[in-house]
A and B are shown apart, each in its own frame.
Chain A
């Protein structure tokens, strides 16, 4: 007879299936984000955030694709409160229109019933991915190394040691070798006490060279909101990058229009300015800062300058000369030119073509997705390999 019943409660504490697949999904989200870093790096929501927020990144590649009807062109059923009329508006898509992401007008999360997947990720997680391959190029041992940290490193193998530190691979290898020599046989026999190998550690002191980074930004009138935004996104990630990866890096913020001045970090990122452009002013200031405070004997020095390239043409000659001076004392100078909507016949970049020094790098950024390649080419730890910009 059916209709009997039982109530029970098992121990579910070891059931992990959902969590495991959730983890796998998370991995796939990360992969997808990595592939789209160039677009994500310069998202407004990140650059303009306080740096702590969890951000949302739309990921279309993890949609579960199948043949389906076009939701936007179909009729759907709904239920009113008894007073609905033909022509009543239930919702509107006008606020958030097409234009974001590769979906181009197809997806929109607020449509009734449509699922648009957005992954949540903390800025720290994102930073970790972005910084993975970045490093300060040409870092040299300087005279005054500063002690950074004390740590242990496993770098020796001995015949005695703690069981938990046993080096399995070497032990087995040793056993194979001994058997081959003693018995002339291949394959693994018994492992004797003689074969055992242990990993052993040593105390090491990690020295890190000191470095200083000069962040130079054009804040003249020709730098419109968009250009400033691009420059700031670059510096936003640069500052985060240097602070996470290096303990002894000092950052000096210099902004300029016709004249240059040193600013606080906050001012650098928030204050706007106007006026003409004379880039030589900032290079002069940089040289002065270096001379007064950072002896190249003691410091690795890097300079990064962002401008729209709309420099006073009479000033270009001087800029080239000053950059050459800077290159003598700096490990690397990076110049980023943000190409605005207008075309300038002679930009600073074209003047810089004369500079042939190896440690001078220029990039031009045309749109938001150019920020990530710029980061990659400026912070390429191994400049011999060509930067892998897109």
Chain B
């Protein structure tokens, strides 16, 4: 980078920062680093410059780099949720590209700093990951690369199975110590609850004496949750076995780390490293649409306020339209997020009759509203609350599905579209799997349960993931799920995955 270039960049940055602050964007101190393509793509593949070494990152890097080499795709920047905030710019970006990217990055940083879901993320993850990577490196020296690598393979295979809401309802031990556990507060504790207290209400089939049943609402089904699993309880009563874990445990990594019998310390450490890193990345997965939409919304506004020459404006317009290109087969988070933020802003700026009378919106509150949303929402609530009939039609959003050998559009009804999109984001799009029994058959075997909600698991993948779980747990493992509306139990005990209908 020539001195002149650097000067130009700094000058632009001063302007951009001033405009951003003028819009009340609130970000950390920024470190912009210009780096060559192979480095930027490395960071992109690892998710963090300092992360540990693993072949799967090499694979991702190879793929991204090859696409770049063949000019198929290009990433312009990478930004890290840290304080101070690191942002990496691609060497060879033109000045106008860098201007857009910097504006984009500032908005990302504002989002990291202010969105609720990021409040618990560590802002020192750059350093933490670096230290963790060193530890893993040491384990490689001590125990051999192959051994560490294959252990990492196994941990990574279930890395998504953490409990991002672990802080809610904390302090309850996983093992029931005495019989006096005050379980079943009516919040869907389901099978995990062995208490009789909620059985005595004498209600059948969910039609119980709640007083609010005069007015039907789409949320009535929530009341049924109170009585979920009551049928099973009577069965459980006869056994009265001690549950382990007491409640189904969502955090597979934690459970295995704590109770895996044959794990060595270095192995537990690796599990804890992967788990911590997953906690760090989770909010980013949860807010992909909002985060990109927010950044896109703001780079657009900031760039409009800059003094651009005609030529620059044209280049910017091209760049921007490249970013927000929509696709028939996937929703572009940049585009969807941008449009939704603009739509909300407009709705609150110029409320329709219903909004004004029914909700008492005076108008002119658009900007305020989107700042509120960026603070409080994640993608699920963002879409569930803000995707309206008008918006779905305006943006022509639909659902498609495989029918025979063809991928066909199957749904355009806005509520179904909304609900399906929201459902696909639950648990960041990963299957919800819990440890049901950590001492299955009194043999210390691991019984996992997939909370089936209409979407089947990929059996080919399942059969190849289960052996990884077995490797970690050291004893036979089971996974219960549903295929073709029938309960299926997969199991693996070291030789072959077997499957039976239960």
Q: State whether A77 touches B421 (Cβ < 8 A).
A: yes
Q: How far is the CB of A230 from chain B (nearest CB, A)?
A: 30
* B42–A106 CB distance below 8 A: no
In the bound complex, what is the Cα–Cα distance between A87 and B91 (angstroms)?
A: 45
Q: Mark B170-212, 1 if CB is under 8 A from A, else 0.
A: 0000000000000000000000000000000000000000000
Q: Which residues of A contact B (CB under 8 A)?
A: 2-10, 12, 15, 17-26, 28, 62-94, 97, 103-104, 106-107, 111-113, 117
Q: Residue of A at shortest CB range from B412?
A: A86
Inter-subunit contact B39/A12 (CB<8 Å): yes
The answer to the question of B54 belonging to the interface, with a C-beta cut-off of 8 Å to chain A, is yes
Q: Which residues of A contact B13 (CB under 8 A)?
A: 5, 7
B55, CB-defined interface residue at 8 Å: yes
Bound form: Cα–Cα A26–B62 in Å: 9
Contact B396 A81 (CB under 8 A): yes
Residues of chain A lying within 8 A (CB to CB) of residue B461: 63, 65-68
Task: Name the CB-closest residue of A to B35.
Answer: A12
- Tell me if A24 and B58 are in contact (CB < 8 A): yes
Q: How near does chain A come to B448, taking the closest CB pair, in angstroms?
A: 9
**Given A78-B327, A90-B407, is A65 in contact with B465 using a C-beta cutoff of 8 Å?**
yes
15 pairs, A vs B, C-beta closer than 8 Å? A2-B26, A4-B30, A7-B32, A7-B33, A8-B31, A22-B59, A65-B461, A68-B430, A68-B461, A73-B455, A78-B328, A78-B400, A90-B408, A93-B407, A117-B59
Cα–Cα, bound, A8→B9 (Å): 10
CB neighbors of A among B425-454 (8 A): 429-431, 433, 450
CB contacts (< 8 Å) of B32 on chain A: these are 5-8
Cβ contacts under 8 Å, B46 to chain A:
17-18
Q: Are A78 and B331 in contact (CB under 8 A)?
A: yes
Is B304 engaged at the interface, CB distance under 8 Å to the other chain?
no
Q: When chains A and B are docked, how far (Å) is the Cα of A4 from the Cα of B85?
A: 10
The chain B residue sitting closest to A120, CB to CB, is: B66
Chain B residue with the shortest CB-CB distance to A80: B396
Q: Are B410 and A5 in contact (CB under 8 A)?
A: no
Bound CA span A21–B62, Å: 9
Residue in chain B with minimal CB distance to A19: B38
- Contact pattern, B 413-430, Cβ under 8 Å of A = 1, otherwise 0: 000010011001000011
Contact A75 B410, CB 8 Å, known A65-B468, A67-B431: yes
In the complex, whether B224 has a CB less than 8 A from a CB of chain A is no
CB distance from A353 to the nearest CB of B (A): 38
Interface hits, B146-183 → A, CB 8 Å: 156-161
Instruction: State in angstroms the CA–CA spacing of A269 and B159 once bound together.
Output: 52
Given the contacts A12-B36, A94-B405, A75 and B399 also touching, CB distance less than 8 Å: yes
* Distance in Å: Cβ of B49 to nearest Cβ of chain A: 8
Contact of B55 among A25, A72, A76 (CB under 8 A): A25
Q: Are B58 and A77 in contact (CB under 8 A)?
A: no
CB-CB under 8 A for A15 and B59, given A21-B54, A65-B468:
no
With known contacts A2-B28, A7-B10, A78-B328, A106–B407 Cβ distance under 8 A: no
A24–B400 touching, CB < 8 Å: no
Residues of A within 8 A of B17 (CB): 3, 5
State which residues 444-502 of B face A: CB under 8 Å: 450, 455-462, 464-465, 468, 479
Taking CB atoms, residues of chain A closer than 8 Å to B1 are: 9
CA–CA, A30 and B451, complex, Å: 38
B462 close to A67 (CB less than 8 A): yes
- CB-contact partner of B412 in A17, A28, A69, A84, under 8 A: A84
- How far is B421's CA from A187's CA once the two chains are assembled, in angstroms? 71
- Tell me the minimal C-beta distance from A59 to chain B in angstroms: 10
A56 to B102, CA, bound (A): 39
Identify B420's interface contact among A21, A26, A68, A77, CB under 8 A: A77
Q: Contact: B405 with A93, CB < 8 Å? A: yes
Complex Cα distance, B459 from A4, in Å, reads: 51
Bound CA span A83–B433, Å = 39
Q: Contacts of A69 on B, CB cut-off 8 Å?
A: 429, 431, 455-458
Evaluate contact between A4 and B29: CB separation under 8 angstroms: yes
- What A residues does B29 contact at CB under 8 A? 2-5
Could you say which of A81, A97, A112 has the most chain B C-beta atoms within 10 Å of its C-beta?
A: A112
Check A75–B458 contact: CB distance below 8 A.
Answer: no
- Residue pair A23, B58 in contact (C-beta under 8 Å): yes
Inter-chain contact B402/A72, CB cutoff 8 Å: yes
Q: How far is the CB of B48 from chain A (nearest CB, A)?
A: 11
Evaluate contact between B27 and A67: CB separation under 8 angstroms: no
Whether A62 lies near B400 (C-beta < 8 A) is no
Is A67 in contact with B457, judged by CB distance below 8 angstroms? yes
Taking CB atoms, residues of chain A closer than 8 Å to B397 are: 77-80
Residue ID in chain A nearest B113 by CB atoms: A2
CB-based nearest B residue for A69: B455
Is B56 close to A, CB under 8 A?
yes
6 closest cross-chain pairs (CB), A and B: A21-B58, A18-B42, A112-B329, A25-B58, A94-B405, A22-B58
Is B117 part of the binding interface, using a Cβ–Cβ cutoff of 8 Å?
no
Asked whether B329 lies within 8 Å of A66 as measured between CB atoms, the reply is no
- Are A90 and B396 within 8 A (Cβ)? no
**B398 on the A face (CB < 8 A):** yes
Other than A21-B55, A76-B401, give 18 A-B pairs with Cβ distance below 8 A: A3-B29, A5-B29, A6-B30, A6-B32, A7-B6, A10-B35, A18-B42, A19-B38, A66-B461, A75-B399, A75-B424, A77-B330, A79-B331, A79-B332, A79-B336, A80-B409, A83-B396, A91-B407
CB of B112 closer than 8 Å to a CB of A: no
B438 to chain A, nearest CB (A): 18
- Nearest Cβ in chain B — how far from A122, in angstroms? 15
Query: Is B395 in contact with chain A by the CB < 8 A criterion?
Result: yes
Asked if B261 is at the interface of the complex by the 8 Å CB criterion, the answer is no
The answer to whether B401 touches A74, judged by C-beta atoms less than 8 angstroms apart, is yes
- Report B1-38 residues with CB < 8 Å from chain A CB: 1, 6, 9-10, 13, 17, 21, 26-36, 38
B32 to nearest A CB, angstroms? Answer: 5
- Residue pair A80, B465 in contact (C-beta under 8 Å): no
Bound Cα distance from A277 to B141, whole angstroms: 64
Residue in A closest to B458 when the chains form the complex, CB atoms: A70
Residue of B nearest to A73 (CB): B456
B313 at the interface (CB under 8 A from A): no
Do residues A79 and B421 form an inter-chain contact, with CB atoms below 8 A? no
Interface: B45 (CB within 8 A): yes
Residue of A nearest to B159 (CB): A66
**CA A78 – CA B399 in complex, angstroms?**
6
Task: Look across to chain B and name the residue whose beta carbon is closest to the beta carbon of A22.
Answer: B58
Across-interface contacts of B310 in A (CB, < 8 A): none
Residue on B nearest A117 in the bound complex, by CB: B59
Q: Verify B42–A70 contact, CB threshold 8 A.
A: no
Bound together, the chains give a CA A70 to CA B424 distance in angstroms of: 12
